[in-house]
Amino acid sequence: MARATTPARRAGITALGWAVGLLVFFPILWMVLTSLKTEAEAIAIPPRFLNFSWTLENYYTVNARSNYPLHALNSVVISLGSTLLGLLVAIPAAWAFAFSPTRRTRDVLMWMLSTKMLPAVGVLVPIYLIFRDYGLLDTRTGLVIVLSLINLPIIVWMLYTYFREIPNDILEAARMDGASLPKEVIYVLLPMAVPGIASTMLLNIILAWNEAFWTLNLTASRAAPLTAFIASYSSPEGLFWAKLSAASTLAIAPILIMGWFSQRQLVRGLTFGAVK
């Protein structure tokens, strides 16, 4: 029997949720406010929250110094390209794990997930040498390949979880009606798993967008995404907090907007199959 929720309990839960939300959002708010300050006000002690001279000078300086549209375009191409490439590989793999399992399926899945525990720096040298020899350094193609491979275990695991929630009887009925394997996957499986695929795609885009280690080590200028754009404002002379905050705000704004408008789909996909 479900426990009744009293108005006081509901108000307490709501207040706690707002408190946690504000705590998580505060660093982003502080970054935006810092981007609207002068450099002197950005490092003032005690910090100034709202009582400062608001200015857009840092944004003008950032756009004059760096090619923001190029970096943004690189981030879009790399994140979308790595996500689509990962899905092309992960969907057949997840289908095989979910609907044609063997006694080694769980072991293989755990092995794939364990590769995420390897420190990235441990494979930097061989990957760098491979990229150098094959002309993939500072190219979008190279970053698309490496980011799709890095995030592939997560994509496979998420899709495997969603596919497991789809009744196998439906696929067997499609086979009895004469559906071939490609048609079974394209016309039966994928439409039923759209929420899970969409949430997997959104999560992978966010992971690829925020990836800094590989983008900083495998790019220089032509294919540098927004993570490299942010890093360019850290120099031996010191950190320019206001300009760094402006660059960071410009870098995270597109992914924040995408996450805001797709939050319902993301939550729906992440809770797919959670309630029977």
* Tens-place pLDDT, residues 72-122: 999 999 999 999 999 999 998 888 888 888 888 888 888 888 888 888 888
Q: Residue 223 burial by CB count (10 A; 0-12/13-18/19+): exposed, middle or buried?
A: buried
Cis before residue 46, ω within 30 degrees of 0?
yes
Q: What is the rounded distance in angstroms from the CA atom of residue 212 to the CA atom of residue 131?
A: 17
pLDDT digits 0-9 by tens, 227-270: 888 887 766 545 678 888 888 898 888 888 887 777 776 666 56
**DSSP state, residue 5:** P
Q: Locate tokens 């390897």: which residue?
A: 118
Q: Locate tokens 């400062």: which residue?
A: 52
| Alpha-carbon torsion (167, 173, 174, 180), positive or negative | positive
Residue 228 host element (H or E): helix 226-231
234-235 vs 238-239, strand pairing mode:
antiparallel
Comparing CA positions, the residue from 241, 259, 228, 262 lying closest to residue 25 is: 259
Task: Please tell me the pTM assigned to this model.
Answer: 0.82
Enumerate the H helices of 44-67 as residue ranges.
Answer: 57-65
Q: What is the rounded distance in angstroms from the CA atom of residue 212 to the CA atom of residue 205?
A: 14
CB 171 within 8 A of CB 188: yes
Q: Is the pLDDT of residue 43 over 50?
A: yes
Weakest mean pLDDT among 44-48, 54-58, 200-204, 209-213: 44-48
Q: What is the rounded distance in angstroms from the CA atom of residue 256 to the CA atom of residue 79?
A: 14
Comparing CA positions, the residue from 95, 117, 118 lying closest to residue 105 is: 95
237: CB partners within 8 A, 6+ apart: none
Q: How confident is the model at residue 146 (pLDDT cuts 50, 70, 90)?
A: very high
Q: Is the pLDDT of residue 5 over 80?
A: no
Q: Which residues of 90-244 form beta strands (DSSP E)? A: 234-235, 238-239
Per-residue pLDDT at 103: 84
Residue type, 188: V
Residue type, 13: I
Q: 59-270 in CATH: which number?
A: 1.10.3720.10
